[in-house]
Structure formats: structure tokens, C-alpha cells
Structure 1
Amino acid sequence: MHSLVNSLVLVFALGLHISPAFVAADTTVIPSNSFSSVSTFESFWNYLYPWGSDHNGINSWPPEADIGEWKGTNDNWFNTFNTSSVVRSDLVAWPADLSFHSLKAVLKPESNGADVRIDFFMDNTLRATQFGKGFIGKALWLIINLQMEGSSGSPGPTGTTTYKARNVVVTRND
């Protein structure tokens, strides 16, 4: 088994708008059991990108914030794309113990009412802070996929590649 994921992309984004308003409670949007059965999976996830089979963005591309992305190595890339050329990436070594580890992104509005602060965590430890310029009011989607080739290299892995995700939870402040 090939233990190194060629390119795993968890693009943090929700089908909701980020609002600068003060909020007091969290609501679960996608529960941790969303992979428990086919019917449960289908009620929370779509087999294709929200805009179809082509990865062309929703309305425009970006905004994008990658919670987990691996590009042919064991380094996880925390990325925020403000434009296609204005990108912030922080690489964090992924543990080689073959165990599950947690990734989390917390998005909070900045006081200017337009930008978002994104705190990225691995195993509940803050690893990076980035800022999404003009993210408030933009449609965002959560995408979990296994990408091969592209910026990860070509032709991709030659052996079996394993992709596993579990306990995915999305909450929002109401």
C-alpha cells in the first residue's frame, strides 16, 4: 500500500456566507457521522463539485482556503488564495505514524467587515494563521477529494494510494 497521499485537498468552504455579525452559539452543519452509511453520506455530500464535474469555482475562484492538501510529500499545505497569484501557504510536516490526525480551520470575521482570519490547527495545535481578503459575503464550499497530478506532479502515483477521512464536522456560529 502506498502510504503517501499524492494530493489530498480539503478546501474549506461552506455553502453559506460568512457574516461579520456577533453570534453566540454553534450549529452543526455536517455531523461527524456523515460517512456512516450511503444514505447519510448522500444527504450531506455531493459526488461532484457543487458546480458540476469541472473544477472551475463557484461564481469566481477564489476564495479558497485549504485545510489539508498534500502534494506528493508528507507535508500538509495550509493555503489561502486571495487571488490566483496572491497565495499564502504554510507547510506542516504530517506525522508518519499512519494514524488519523485532526485538522481544523476556524474562520472569524475581521473588524473591517470584508476580510476573514483563518486559524489552522493540526491535532488541536495552532499551526498557521492566514487572512482571506474579501471573503465575507462570498460563497464557499467544503470539498473533500483526492486530486491526482495537477500541481502535485505528473503522472501521479504508480502504486495503490489510500485516501481516508472520518469524523468530518462543520459548525457555524448562529
Structure 2
Amino acid sequence: MSETFEVPSPHEHHVEHAHHSGDGFANKIAVMTAVMATLGALLSYQAGSTESEAAMNKNNAAIKKTEASNQWNYYQAKSSRQNLADLASHIPGMDVAHYQAEVERYRAQKEDARQKAEALEKEAAEWDVKSETILHQHHRWAQAMMAIQIAISLAAMTLLTRREWLEKVSLGAAALSVVLGGLAWLHI
């Protein structure tokens, strides 16, 4: 018969010992870490959400730019037809009135296409601005997430080393995370 033996690691031994001995310091760090992990989850969600929103806004800008390009192509085609109609109106024996009317029709269609293209370019620029604004907010959320991850790592080191000054540094990193999250929330 074979028996299996489990050899706990020094960390597991320390945690088990601390748990059974009612170690207040370890319990305090464990609660602090749990709170920071919860904050980290919220920050991570917000960072991901704003990143997706920025990408969607950038996509909308690209769509509007494509639509504007299509309008400019239409404008160019009408310009070519206008030029051909103008040329035809100067050829002897051609129906000058008909081709002058065509020139005016193409001129009006070009103007309509130009206005649509400029409006679409304006919409594209607005989507780009929205995207950049949201992307800045995403960076703030990501910075806050990074700070809370550092705080959690420092809390783990605090538990292992039992250095109270390290606990203060961990709390400072957590506070920085809250400040950065607040700036993101306020769009600053």
C-alpha cells in the first residue's frame, strides 16, 4: 500500500498557524487585502468598459469617414459629368440649352454631395473627440487598477514579513488607487 503525504509550504504553515492562533495582525491584513481585491475588481471592470466604449467611438468615426469619402467620390463623379456637359454645350451642332441645364443639374448635385460630405466629416471628428476623451478616462482607470494591484502585492509582503511600515506603504498605494479612480470617475 502506498500512502501519500502532504508537506505544507512555509507560507501555508504560517497562514494556518496565524489562523489558529487568532493573530490580529494577519486578520487585519487579510481583510485589508479582500477590500483591495474588491476595489480592484471594480476598477478592472471600469477600465475594460471604457476601453470598449473608446473603441466603439473610434469605429463610429471610421464609418463616418468612409461615408464622407463616398460622398466626396460622388462629388467628383458629378464634377466630371458637369465638365463633360459643359464641354458638350460648346460643340457646334449640339443642343446647348440641354447641356447647360445638365451643367446646372450637376452643379446642384455636387453642392448637395459637398454638404453631406462636410457634415459626415464633422460627425467623424466628433466621434474621434469622444473616443479620445473616453480613452483618457480608460487610462485613469487602468492607472488606478495598477496602483491597487501594487497595494495588494505589498499587503502580501506585509503579511509575510510582518513589517508595519510596509502596511502603511500598501495603504498609501491603495489610497493612490482611490484618488486615480476618483479622477477617472470625474473625467479628469
Report the TM-score range of the alignment, normalised by the length of the smaller protein. under 0.3
> Comparing both chains, which one has the higher relative contact order based on Cα–Cα distances under 8 Å and sequence gaps of 6 or more?
1
Which of these two proteins has the greater Rg computed from alpha carbons? Answer: 2
More strand, by proportion: 1
Structure 1 length-normalised TM:
0.19
Structure 2 length-normalised TM:
0.18
